């Protein structure tokens, strides 16, 4: 598989909430070959706390993001520790999903001459970015997959994140905060049924405590606390209508999406709930809702270790790409 990676930058970037980045950087990686007509491009944004290396498992000839057919671009979100973030940028300002997708658009044009996307595929915060792409760039986006995401962060989702934010800020040390964050997150990201059935045993863990320590605590200990806090802000303020184009009118923003939209929530997701997508669906011109029938909660949308859900997602996305 042909791959390429690098860092793209833009100087003196004015942000949506009034701050300025003297130099905004996006770390990116591509997979596959760009067609002569530049008509085979899939954008695959990162999710909360993730680097491109955490999500690139889906870029595979055995999955829907097939690099033998498509040119797949993963832009790392600002605040994820690779692209511009508090850990690598002094006096880092608040950034929004709007800021991220505007820079991604500029990057694609300047680096690759790409002005149209076959698909934007996103899970979780990546799904919020996919929704923003559809709402902001109209004719430039043919399809979007909103996998366990929403057009606007729901109130209950916001409250969940408040618990994470206050835990990180109240801890005596960053490491203590990150360990506590992992344990809280473990209860939200997977369903009650997952734990009742002790499905963590199938992932190679000997006990529930082993799962919490080696999976959840370890996952967040890889990251910088301030980066995670900054990305929480971006998540909490996710809203495709929060811009001058739609002026807070969410229904108008949904109706403004010209792309074919696949809404793909998980039946057991505890914070990006199917009901959010059900309320969005009637306002979409070309929308379809297909629920992942899974007990893996939010993690059903990123089923690296869950072949059944991966096969379900592959089939739905391939159908959309062939439509």
Which of these is catalytic: 85, 132, 298, 314? 298
Secondary structure (3-state) at 253:
helix
CA distance 307 to 316: 14
Long-range contacts of range 220-223, CB-CB < 8 Å, 24 or more positions apart? 220/49, 220/178, 220/179, 220/181, 220/182, 220/185, 221/175, 221/178, 221/179, 221/182, 223/49, 223/81, 223/178
CA-to-CA separations, 277 to 21, 146, 266, in angstroms, rounded: 34, 9, 11
Query: Does the annotation mark 215 as catalytic?
Result: no
Angle between helices 174-189 and 225-236 (to 10 degrees): 40
CA distance 201 to 69: 36
Q: How many CB atoms lie within 10 A of CB 1?
A: 12
Which of these is catalytic: 84, 85, 124, 241? 124
Angle between helices 174-189 and 155-170 (to 10 degrees): 150
CA distance 103 to 11: 11
Q: Are strands 287-289 and 119-123 parallel, antiparallel or unpaired?
A: unpaired
CA distance 228 to 221: 11
Which of these is catalytic: 66, 227, 269, 309? 269
Query: Does the annotation mark 224 as catalytic?
Result: no
Q: Which of 30, 35, 24 is nearest to 5 (CA)?
A: 30
Query: Does the annotation mark 99 as catalytic?
Result: no
CA-to-CA separations, 222 to 60, 128, 168, 173, 225, in angstroms, rounded: 25, 24, 14, 15, 10
User: Active-site positions?
Assistant: 124, 269, 298
């Amino acid at each position: 598989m042909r791959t390429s990676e690098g860092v793209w930058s833009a100087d003196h970037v004015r942000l949506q909430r009034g701050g300025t980045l003297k130099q905004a950087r996006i770390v990116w990686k591509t997979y596959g070959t760009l067609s002569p007509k530049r008509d085979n491009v899939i954008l695959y944004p990162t999710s909360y706390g993730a680097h491109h290396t955490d999500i690139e498992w889906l870029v595979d000839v055995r999955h829907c993001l097939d690099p033998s057919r498509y040119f797949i671009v993963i832009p790392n979100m600002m605040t994820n520790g690779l692209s511009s973030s508090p850990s690598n940028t002094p006096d880092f300002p608040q950034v929004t999903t709007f800021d991220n997708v505007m820079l991604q658009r500029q990057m694609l044009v300047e680096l690759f001459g790409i002005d149209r996307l076959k698909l934007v595929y996103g899970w979780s915060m990546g799904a919020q970015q996919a929704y923003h792409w559809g709402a902001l760039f109209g004719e430039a986006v043919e399809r979007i997959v909103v996998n366990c995401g929403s057009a606007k962060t729901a109130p209950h989702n916001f409250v969940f994140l408040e618990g994470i934010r206050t835990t990180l800020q109240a801890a005596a040390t960053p490491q203590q905060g990150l360990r506590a964050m992992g344990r809280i997150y473990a209860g939200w990201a997977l369903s009650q049924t997952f734990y009742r059935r002790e499905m963590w045993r199938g992932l190679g863990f000997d006990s529930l405590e082993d799962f919490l320590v080696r999976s959840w605590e370890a996952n967040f200990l890889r990251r910088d606390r301030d980066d995670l806090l900054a990305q929480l802000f971006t998540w909490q303020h996710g809203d495709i209508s929060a811009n001058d184009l739609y002026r807070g009118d969410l229904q108008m923003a949904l109706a403004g999406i010209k792309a074919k939209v696949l809404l793909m929530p998980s039946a057991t997701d505890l914070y990006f709930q199917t009901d959010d997508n059900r309320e969005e669906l009637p306002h979409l011109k070309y929308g379809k809702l297909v629920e992942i029938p899974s007990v893996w909660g939010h993690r059903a949308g990123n089923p690296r270790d869950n072949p059944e859900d991966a096969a379900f997602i592959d089939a739905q996305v391939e159908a959309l790409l062939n439509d």
